[in-house]
């Protein structure tokens, strides 16, 4: 499942159509099927968490935070490793303070994995790229094994 960056709608894109141009069935905008992280704000984060049929990894970050900036390539790699299976969202806490407050963000970077709108795991602070990838893979496997809300999408 892929999220439209324009309207937030989720669309299923079969593997055979991923090489071609996929479009959102709701607004007609072209869909990014690469798995690349998407920036979201206060309103769109809540909506994505509640409606996503796949687990969501949220990177709470700030532009002034050097470790946050260093995490960006790792998050891009993680998102591209799980296209359609994991949605990676980036929340700039300076631009989305309500989201940061609602999710109890006290330091950045903070990575939170959600499934079915519920928090499943949290990592505060940057990890080396390999360890961050392992953390995500381990918690995704746990969500799958325990039949998380998104388990049917796997």
Q: What is the pLDDT of residue 21?
A: 77
Residue 151 has pLDDT above 70, yes or no: no
User: Is the CB of residue 74 less than 8 Å from the CB of residue 129?
Assistant: yes
The pair of structure tokens assigned to 92 is 């700039």
- pLDDT tens, residue by residue, 13-70: 887 766 567 889 899 999 999 999 999 999 999 999 999 999 999 999 999 999 999 9
CA distance 136 to 154: 15
Nearest to 93 by CA among 36, 31, 41, 143: 41
Per-residue pLDDT at 140 = 94
Q: Are 109 and 125 in contact (CB under 8 A)?
A: yes
- Report all structural domains of the chain as residue ranges with CATH numbers, in order of start: 1-33 (2.30.30), 35-153 (3.40.30.10)
pLDDT of residue 154: 30
pLDDT tops 50 at residue 4: yes
Whether 68 is catalytic is: yes
Query: What are the tokens at 103?
Result: 């999710």
């Amino acid at each position: 499942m892929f999220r439209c960056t324009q309207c937030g709608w989720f669309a299923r894109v079969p593997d055979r159509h991923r090489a071609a141009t996929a479009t959102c069935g709701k607004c007609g905008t072209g869909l990014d099927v690469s798995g690349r992280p998407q920036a979201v704000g206060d309103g769109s984060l809540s909506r994505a968490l509640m409606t996503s049929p796949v687990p969501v990894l949220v990177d709470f970050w700030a532009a002034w935070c050097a470790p946050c900036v260093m995490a960006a390539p790792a998050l891009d790699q993680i998102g591209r490793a799980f296209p359609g299976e994991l949605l990676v969202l980036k929340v700039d806490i300076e631009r989305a303070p309500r989201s940061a407050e609602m999710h109890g963000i006290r330091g950045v970077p903070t990575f939170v994995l959600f499934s079915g709108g519920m928090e499943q795991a949290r990592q505060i602070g940057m990890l080396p790229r390999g360890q961050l990838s392992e953390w995500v893979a381990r918690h995704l496997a746990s969500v799958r094994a325990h039949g998380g809300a998104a388990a049917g999408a796997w």
